[in-house]
């Protein structure tokens, strides 16, 4: 009898995970994001990783996550300008990242 109850519970839990009842996935809206490439600039004095957009404009993020600090990695970024701050790098416009998206290929 115990096995029967275990089977019923297991079967009903698997049925509840069916993808038929799941809402469809919404496409990711990247219209407000800027596509950028990560550039390893540690060879320059005072620099670490920079970001470069499609127009070859470079940005110096003050808070780039370690998970995306890989030379050549393509990411999508929301950012704001960092005003009234200076660094020794001077490799690009100083920005603060507010969100990062990495698309899996």
Q: How far apart are the C-alpha atoms of 34 and 99, rounded to whole Å?
A: 11
Indicate the pTM of the whole model. 0.72
State pLDDT tens for residues 33-70: 999 999 999 998 889 999 999 999 999 999 999 999 99
Q: What is the mean pLDDT of residues 76-88?
A: 92
Q: How far apart are the C-alpha atoms of 49 and 39, rounded to whole Å?
A: 6
- Domain 32-105 belongs in CATH node 2.40.50.140: no
Q: How far apart are the C-alpha atoms of 68 and 81, rounded to whole Å?
A: 20
pLDDT of the residue at 19: 53
Domain residue spans of the chain: 32-105
Reported confidence tier of residue 86, pLDDT bands at 50, 70, 90: confident
Task: Please tell me whether residue 36 adopts helix, strand or coil conformation.
Answer: strand
pLDDT of the residue at 12: 64
pLDDT of the residue at 42: 93
Q: Are 9 and 54 in contact (CB under 8 A)?
A: no
């Amino acid at each position: 009898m115990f096995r029967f109850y275990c089977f019923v519970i297991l079967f009903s839990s698997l049925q509840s995970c069916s993808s038929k009842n799941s809402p469809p996935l919404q496409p990711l809206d990247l219209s407000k994001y800027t596509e950028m490439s990560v550039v390893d600039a540690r060879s320059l004095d005072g620099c670490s990783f920079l970001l470069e957009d499609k127009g070859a404009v470079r940005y110096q993020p003050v808070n780039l996550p370690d998970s995306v600090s890989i030379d050549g990695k393509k990411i999508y970024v929301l950012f704001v300008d960092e005003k009234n701050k200076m660094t020794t790098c001077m490799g690009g416009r100083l920005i603060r990242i507010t969100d990062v998206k990495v698309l899996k290929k």
